[in-house]
């Protein structure tokens, strides 16, 4: 299944009664496997989770921890960009040159690397103090 199709399908199941903004995400790993997720909101608003977080959780639950490509889709005028927190979550498992494609349901797409989306990402090396 293409990442686009997987993300679109996951988006259909998004639970977004508060924002009414459904998002779908799909990830491919080096093994070729595809994992998808959708946003899951909560009446206690900060407890809601993004589509990217759901897809990453599915990947890790399946025993994989490397990303080779990411796709995010929403019904927006401009391709939807991952929030700041999700950029850092993607950086946990993706290299700086990871391709992230952002899309609209109408078919607009824009691709950027993770390094472009999150310059200066916090990393393990920042915790070195010797
Ligand atoms: N959202 C995502 O799931 N991913 C993004 O990349 C941007 C925002 C969700 C969070 C919330 O449920 C809704 O979109 C509105 O912010």
Distance, CA of 26 to CA of 5 (rounded, Å): 9
Residue 126 lies in a domain: no
Looking at the whole model, is its pTM more than 0.85? yes
Asked whether residue 128 is domain-assigned, the answer is no
Asked, for residue 125, whether it belongs to a domain, the answer is no
On whether residue 17 sits in a domain, the answer given is yes
The CATH number of the domain holding residue 37 is: 3.40.140.10
Tens-digit pLDDT profile for residues 62-117: 999 999 999 999 999 999 999 999 999 999 999 999 999 999 999 999 999 999 99
Domain count, the chain: 1
Helix (H) / strand (E) containing 7: helix 3-12
pLDDT at 22: 98
Task: Pick the closest to residue 27 from 106, 82, 84 (CA basis).
Answer: 82
Out of 12, 41, 47, 52, the active site residue is: 52
Q: How far is the CA of 78 from the centre of ligand 1 (A)?
A: 14
Query: How far, in Å, is the centroid of ligand 1 from the Cα of 129?
Result: 35
> Is 52 a catalytic site residue?
yes
Segments forming the whole domain that contains residue 9: 3-119
Regarding the beta carbon of 98 and ligand 1, being less than 6 Å apart is answered: no
């Amino acid at each position: 299944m293409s990442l686009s199709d997987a993300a679109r399908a996951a988006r259909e199941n998004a639970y977004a009664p508060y924002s009414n903004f459904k998002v779908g995400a799909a990830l491919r790993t080096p093994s070729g496997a595809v994992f998808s997720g959708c946003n899951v909101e909560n009446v206690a608003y900060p407890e809601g989770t993004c589509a990217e977080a759901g897809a990453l959780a599915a990947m890790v639950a399946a025993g994989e921890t490397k990303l080779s490509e990411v796709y995010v889709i929403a019904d927006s005028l401009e391709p939807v960009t991952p929030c700041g927190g999700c950029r850092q979550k993607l950086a946990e498992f993706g290299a700086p040159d990871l391709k992230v494609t952002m899309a609209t349901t109408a078919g607009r797409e824009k691709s950027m690397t993770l390094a472009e989306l999150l310059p200066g990402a916090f990393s393990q090396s920042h915790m070195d103090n010797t």
